[in-house]
Structure 1
Amino acid sequence: MADDSSIADVVMHPVRLRIIQQLGGRSLTTAQLRAALPDVTQATLYRHVATLVDAGILTVTEERKVRGAVERTLALGDRMAHVDQTELRAMSDAQLRSAFLAFLGDVSADFDRFVDGADPSLRDFVGFGRVPLYVDAPGLAAIQAGLSELLAPYLSERGDGQRRVSLATVLIPEPDAPGPVPRSQADD
């Protein structure tokens, strides 16, 4: 049963973020999670999995006996692992900074694992960039809806030779800056 803690309180821990990232779009056994996160001890992994299951972020889709122990298969649960705008607005400045740093740390660790990997052919799948956008609230909503529609077919593993990649997005509004100088003042 999901508890009432905010999603931000539950998911904004580096290990929990990594678990959620591993499960995005697929189901994994606890053994597969351990293999995917070799630097996380088994006890720590199980403790964080239990927290995510209790909060409804993860769900157990299957249980089976393996050598006398119960092996669980996990997937993202009904309570989506996403911090919504209401929760972001409710965070203090310190909580927001902490959440953002946890997010960046997770992305940075993924990038380090990629760079440390020995397969240079994977560089065809890496990219990063930054571009300013000029939007109002309805325009941003339209962009987000369009991205959701564009990405929907790629969110689940189909088993037909795709490569799993991580797409991270960050929206940071710039502080109000002075607008362009009116032509009559620019000519002075």
Structure 2
Amino acid sequence: MDTLDLLLHPVRLRIVHALSGGRPRTTSELSEALPDVPRTSVYRHVGLLAEAGLLEVADEQRVRGIVERHYRLRRERARIEEEAGASMSLDDHRRGFAAGTAVLLAEFNAYLDRPGADPFADSVGYRQGTFWLSPGELAEMIGELRQVFARRADNGPAPDRRSYLMSTIVFPSDGAGEAS
């Protein structure tokens, strides 16, 4: 199975997101983080991701006679390379968008189900905006956003920090009102 097929699956994408914070996790911890996914499915998908090299074993410990593995995401492997992205079919893009949307919805529902969830106090945002951009301006804006995200990407856990999921979705709108 290639990286594209691995990452365009909603459960595997959620596992990748759960490990993207940098802290290694066991399959049991991943199952707890994905309570709506059957434990056997989490184990199967972790196995597929590890076999493909997207996850690596960061540590092994013997717990009650069983070897417990802590998995770490290999960020450099857990991405769709430019060449593969350029060769994606329209259906691949539909699948990818659906998987990404499913992950986002599942993560948001999990947040809302936590005790004490307070979207206003937690600065939760879900806004859309339309920008009129030339191809060069779009490339420049994407570059600027990447720089902003890169400056914070290596932040680790700390007493005064909590993790935030941030998603960007960019695509041309329907073209209504385009200049002639």
Shorter chain as denominator, the TM-score bin is: 0.7 to 0.9
How many angstroms apart in 2 are the aligned matches of 1:133 and 1:80?
32
* Counterpart in the other structure of 1:16: 12
Q: How many residues align?
A: 177
Q: Is the 8 A contact 1:56 1:79 kept in 2?
A: no
* Counterpart in the other structure of 1:110: 107
How high is the sequence identity, in percent, across the aligned residues? 31
Query: Structure 2 length normalisation: TM-score?
Result: 0.84
1:144 aligned to which of 142, 145, 148 = 142
Deviation of 1:149 after TM superposition, in Å, equals 2.3
The structure-2 alpha-carbon separation of the partners of 1:69 and 1:87, relative to structure 1 and needing over 3 Å to count, comes to same
Deviation track 1:50-107 (CA, whole Å, cap 9, x = no partner) reads: 1111222111111121111111111111543223443233122222212211111111
Q: Structure 2, unaligned stretches of length 5 or more?
A: none
1:72 aligned to which of 69, 80, 98 = 69
Deviation of 1:147 after TM superposition, in Å, equals 2.0
Deviation track 1:114-154 (CA, whole Å, cap 9, x = no partner) reads: 22333143432211111122334443333233222222343
Deviation track 1:13-69 (CA, whole Å, cap 9, x = no partner) reads: 111011011111222222321221222233211110111112221111111211111
Q: Structure 1, unaligned stretches of length 5 or more?
A: 182-188
How many angstroms apart in 1 are the aligned matches of 2:116 and 2:21?
24
Query: Structure 1 length normalisation: TM-score?
Result: 0.81
Which has the higher Rg, Structure 1 or Structure 2?
1
Letter in 2 for 1:129: R
How many angstroms apart in 2 are the aligned matches of 1:130 and 1:172?
12
1:81 and 2:78 are equivalent in the alignment: yes
- Over the aligned positions, Cα root-mean-square deviation in angstroms equals 2.3
How many angstroms apart in 1 are the aligned matches of 2:83 and 2:93?
12
How many angstroms apart in 2 are the aligned matches of 1:145 and 1:93?
25
How many angstroms apart in 1 are the aligned matches of 2:37 and 2:177?
48
